[in-house]
Amino acid sequence: MRFGPSRSLRPLPLCLVFFLLLAGSLAASAEGAQWHVSPIRLELGPQAKSGSVTVTNDGEEPMQLQMKAMEWTQDGEGKDRYEETQDLVFFPKIMELKGKEARVIRAGIRVPAAKTEKTYRLFIQEIPVPGKPRGTSVAIAIRFGLPIFVKPVREEEKGEIGGPELEQGTVRAEVRNRGNVHFSIRSVVVKGIDPGGQPVIEKELSGWYLLAGASRKYSVEIPGHECKRIATFEVSVKTDRFSLETSVPGDPSRCGPDADGGPPR
């Protein structure tokens, strides 16, 4: 995966299986080194207690990187949380790359495999190098969080959809990871079916990693004039490991107002 100064640094979709964080100010344009990491995740465990990734400087100018290991968990809403950890051993901690040079980062786990998968991120942070200003240009530092998964002794894949429910024209459902390993939610689709079995509306939401024991809520608003025509709402979840499906019956009394602002009829 490649990084460049002209790219948007918002969180990226699930299919890219990683995110970028922007450190510092962003002006109309920015200058900084281009670099990429391969592979973009590591899987460790009883059979592979260490691994490596290659960092390549695609630019002509030299650059410096620094690394920091963080334990990766998710809270009750499925939001990512990070805490510095000593569980990982990695080398080097600071790296210098000449133009077009590639170097290897090696990482291993100190703790043995457990009943539940352990999850970490090795943050690879570019150290900005002060340079001569060019108009509105500024130097930026890019940080990449390399996912590191430490597999349990025995993997158990299990997910479920909590709910769903229809309230005030909104379909709500909760995706729960009941297994002991992570999975990636690729899509959450809510489809409204009329009494004749024909689709009335279909909306798709993107997902993200869901770690073992975590859950994440999703909601889709259905316009009142469409909601009252729907006999059944089907909710389907696609992950990188399995698919889940459930449904909730339609109910005009639980729909929101019509487009004209009036109550559902």
The pTM for the full model equals: 0.81
Mean local confidence (pLDDT), 7-32: 34
Contact 181, 242 (CB under 8 A): no
Give the least confident one: 132-136, 159-163, 178-182, 207-211: 132-136
Average pLDDT of the residues in 109-128:
93
Show the tokens assigned to 111: 């703790």
Residue ranges of the domains in the chain? 2-150, 159-254
In degrees and rounded to multiples of 5, residue 149 shows phi and psi of: -110, 125
- Give the pLDDT of residue 138: 57
Instruction: Write the DSSP assignment of 58-75 as a string of letters.
Output: -SSS-EEEEEEEEEEEE-
Domains 2-150 and 159-254 fall in the same CATH topology: yes
Average of per-residue pLDDT across 94-112: 95
User: Following DSSP, what letter does each residue of 83-109 receive, concatenated?
Assistant: EE-SSEEEE-SEEEE-TT-EEEEEEEE
Would you state the pLDDT for residue 143? 93
In terms of Cβ atoms closer than 10 Å to its own Cβ (0-12, 13-18, 19+), residue 94 is exposed
pLDDT band at 10 (very low <50, low <70, confident <90, very high): very low
Nearest to 95 by CA among 84, 106, 109: 106
Least confident window among 14-28, 86-100, 150-164: 14-28
The amino acid that residue 27 corresponds to is: A
Class of domain 2-150 as given by CATH: mainly beta
pLDDT of residue 112: 81
Class of the CATH-defined domain 159-254: mainly beta
List b or e across 100-115, with b for residues whose CB sees 16 or more CB atoms inside 10 angstroms: eeeeebebbbeeebee
Q: How high does pLDDT run on average in the chain? A: 85
Per-residue pLDDT band for 6 (boundaries 50, 70, 90) equals very low
Q: Could you give the angle at the alpha carbon of 186 between the alpha carbons of 211 and 161, nearest 5°?
A: 65
Q: What is the pLDDT of residue 104?
A: 98
Between 261 and 151, residue with greater pLDDT:
151
